[in-house]
Amino acid sequence: MGIDYEFLNSFCKGVLAKGKSIRWVAMVNKNGVILTQKSREGVKLLLTEEENEQYAASAIARQKTRGKFEPKIGKMVYAFGRYDKLHRATIPINENYYLLITFDVEEKSFDSIIMERVVTMIAENKSRFVTMDDSI
């Protein structure tokens, strides 16, 4: 089975609905290619589409370097970056797919949003990601 873009679009919309402070959501493959992305209505994105592509590729490259330490420190649930103008999270779904999320800088409860809402949603849909073949 190929990539189910309808599911990925729907999934990203669902993640956006998990918190009013979520600015942007992207589903990225293991090569750092953005498969789909959604942004909150009315939000002004800080990066261009090309810059988001570069960010996605570098986020996945960083994630792959972290993997070599997993046997000693455990599997990463998410990586988080705090910037002056927004917060970013990289959430591995499986070895083929990653979720990238940006939050408004004022959001203080990002951990509970990620752990209680987003990670739960990923777990509920885990089988949908396993059955997709990443052909890109």
pLDDT tens-digit series, residues 3-62: 899 999 999 999 999 999 999 999 999 999 999 999 999 999 999 999 999 999 999 998
Whole-model pTM: value is 0.91
H-assigned helices in 17-133: 49-66, 70-73, 110-112, 119-124, 126-130
Percent of the chain clearing pLDDT 70 (strictly above) = 95
Q: Is the pLDDT of residue 64 over 80?
A: yes
pLDDT category, 90, cuts 50, 70, 90?
Answer: very high
C-alpha–C-alpha distance, residues 54 and 9, integer Å? 20
Q: Enumerate residues 6+ apart whose C-beta is below 8 A from 63.
A: 76, 79, 90, 92, 98
Contacts with 101 (C-beta within 8 Å, 6 or more apart), sequence order: 15, 22, 24, 25, 88, 89, 91, 114, 118
The answer to whether 101 touches 25, Cβ cutoff 8 Å, is yes
Q: State the Cα–Cα distance between residues 23 and 101, nearest whole angstrom.
A: 7
CA distance 48 to 24: 12
Neighbours of 34 (CB within 10 A): 16
Q: What Rg, from alpha-carbon coordinates, does the chain have?
A: 14
All structural domains of the chain: 5-130 (3.30.450.30)
